[in-house]
Amino acid sequence: MNGFLGKLPCIIRSALIGLLFLLVNTASADTLEVVKKRDVVHCGVTTGFAGFSAPNDKGEWAGLDIDLCRAIAAAVLGDASKFKAVPLNSQQRFTALQSGEIDVLVRNTSVTQQRDTALGAIHAGISFYDGQGFLIPKAFGVNSAKALDGASICLQTGTSNENTLADWARANNITYKPVVIEQFNEVVNAFAAGRCDVFSTDAAGLASIRVSRLKNPDDYQVLPEQISKEPLGPFVRQGDDTWLNVVKWSLMAMLNAEELGVTSDNVEAHLSSTNPRIQRLLGVTPGAGANLGLDEKWAYNIIRQVGNYGQSYARNVGMDSPLKIPRGLNALWTDGGLMYPLPIR
Ligand SMILES: N[C@@H](CCC(=O)N[C@@H](CS)C(=O)NCC(=O)O)C(=O)O
């Protein structure tokens, strides 16, 4: 089957595998029960993208996406460390979800109509709003993406970046030479060695590559334009609404906690809060946990062990991190951003 599938274009291959998966698995889809029995969440992440999912100095996986893996583990198993990071390159990620190798894909993955429908996958919220951009050596001497006509552009196989760039170039009458490489390390090395003029992927990813992968970050710049919307979020398998809810509401718990000013440091004190919203979030007033098939301390455990969304953002990609990405669209709606936590009631 691999030989036959291997000859098909990537999207058709993924769609076929998705269909096969759905036919085989619809009846037995109960990821929550599987995870509870296994006592560990299998979380699909990148092969190493600093700020989002990468091993830190101590060799432990860390990042904004990893914090969501940890949050799901805390909600379901009461212990944020009970997750296994399964590193996947861009090309492998949906197949790993379809085959059951992972329970959830938490990796800078853009929600698109095709991915949300035809691959047997469905998104469970947006954890980071991004847009596709361009990283160039300053010596290249341009300040606008429109000046990239004729450039060679490095991209990774299996990303939405390939099609988005092609659409944008066509619409703007720009020609370019795509240099498409499957493994992330190899794309970075190709760019660093000057085998392409430009690297194009999500802007936050480019900020991460610039700071963590290039020898002299100051010799490079991310161009100001973004050519697309890239709403990044976790994906689960279609047909498993209970698990979809667990993942979705774990993210919502982190956002609600930020909105309510509940942090990992003050959550203990908030247990005696008289605010009914905080009482429901922390399980002091029961109900939300039972609705999800979880312990009433599900959100308390997330906040205590992982923190709220703002804390996770600041330490991984924001001002307390090397990336220093402003909150921008990822600020709460009350601060002019798009993060609008759905109410827990
Ligand atoms: N958001 C885009 C791009 C995400 C993506 O996969 N980016 C590449 C960087 S070019 C990546 O994260 N690679 C890491 C890896 O393969 O481990 C998508 O969902 O396709």
The tens digit of pLDDT for each residue in 216-245 reads 999 999 999 999 999 999 999 999 999 999
Q: Please tell me if the CB atom of residue 159 comes closer than 6 angstroms to any atom of ligand 1.
A: yes
For residues 61-67, average pLDDT:
98
Mutation test of ligand 1: which of 52, 159, 187, 212 has the most ligand atoms closer than 8 Å to its C-beta? 159
For residues 130-145, average pLDDT:
95
pLDDT value for 29: 79
pLDDT value for 118: 97
Cα(340)–Cα(252) distance, integer angstroms: 9
Ligand 1 center from residue 170 Cα (angstroms) = 22
- Three-state SS for the chain is CHHHHHCCCHHHHHHHHHHHHHHHHHHHCCHHHHHHHHCCEEEEECCCECCCEEECCCCCEECHHHHHHHHHHHHHHCCCCCEEEEECCCCCHHHHHHHCCCCEECCCCECCHHHHHCCCEEECCCCEEECEEEEEEHHHCCCCHHHHCCCEEEEECCCCHHHHHHHHHHHCCCCCEEEEECCHHHHHHHHHCCCCCEEEEEHHHHHHHHHHHCCCHHHEEECCCCCCCEEECCEEECCCHHHHHHHHHHHHHHHHHHHHCCCCCCHHHHCCCCCHHHHHHCCCCCCHHHHHCCCCCHHHHHHHHCCCHHHHHHHHCCCCCCCCCCCHHHCEHHHCCCECCCCCC
Q: Please tell me if the CB atom of residue 90 comes closer than 6 angstroms to any atom of ligand 1.
A: yes
Q: Please tell me if the CB atom of residue 61 comes closer than 6 angstroms to any atom of ligand 1.
A: no
| Contacts of 320 by beta carbon, 8 Å cutoff, 6+ apart | 314
Q: Is the pLDDT of residue 12 over 60?
A: no
pLDDT value for 180: 98
Residue whose CA is at the smallest distance from ligand 1 atom 3: 159
Q: Please tell me if the CB atom of residue 273 comes closer than 6 angstroms to any atom of ligand 1.
A: no
Residue whose CA is at the smallest distance from ligand 1 atom 16: 89
Cα(46)–Cα(225) distance, integer angstroms: 25
Ligand 1 center from residue 109 Cα (angstroms) = 7
Ligand 1 center from residue 156 Cα (angstroms) = 7
Ligand 1 center from residue 96 Cα (angstroms) = 15
Cα(81)–Cα(41) distance, integer angstroms: 9
Mutation test of ligand 1: which of 10, 46, 113 has the most ligand atoms closer than 8 Å to its C-beta? 46
Q: Please tell me if the CB atom of residue 205 comes closer than 6 angstroms to any atom of ligand 1.
A: yes
Name the residue type at position 74.
A
**Cα of 55 vs its chain's centroid, Å:** 16
pLDDT value for 328: 98
Residue found by looking up tokens 């995870």 in the block:
35
Residue 274 structure tokens: 């008289």
Cα(166)–Cα(168) distance, integer angstroms: 6
**Residue 261 — φ and ψ, nearest 5°?**
75, 20
Residue 91 structure tokens: 């090309």
pTM, to two decimals: 0.93
Q: Is the pLDDT of residue 21 over 80?
A: no
Q: Give the pLDDT band (50/70/90) at residue 13.
A: low
Crossing angle between the packed helical segments 64-77 and 31-38, to the nearest 10 degrees:
80
For residues 172-178, average pLDDT:
97
Q: Return the number of other C-beta atoms located less than 10 Å from residue 336's C-beta.
A: 10
Query: Using CA atoms in the order 63, 67, 108, 329, what is the torsion angle rounded to 10 degrees?
Result: -90
Q: Is the pLDDT of residue 1 over 70?
A: no
Q: Give the pLDDT band (50/70/90) at residue 125.
A: very high
Name the residue type at position 242.
T
Ligand 1 center from residue 282 Cα (angstroms) = 35
Q: pLDDT, tens digit, for every residue of 292-318?
A: 999 999 999 999 999 999 999 999 999
Name the residue type at position 232.
L
| Contacts of 113 by beta carbon, 8 Å cutoff, 6+ apart | none
For residues 267-287, average pLDDT:
98
Q: Please tell me if the CB atom of residue 98 comes closer than 6 angstroms to any atom of ligand 1.
A: no
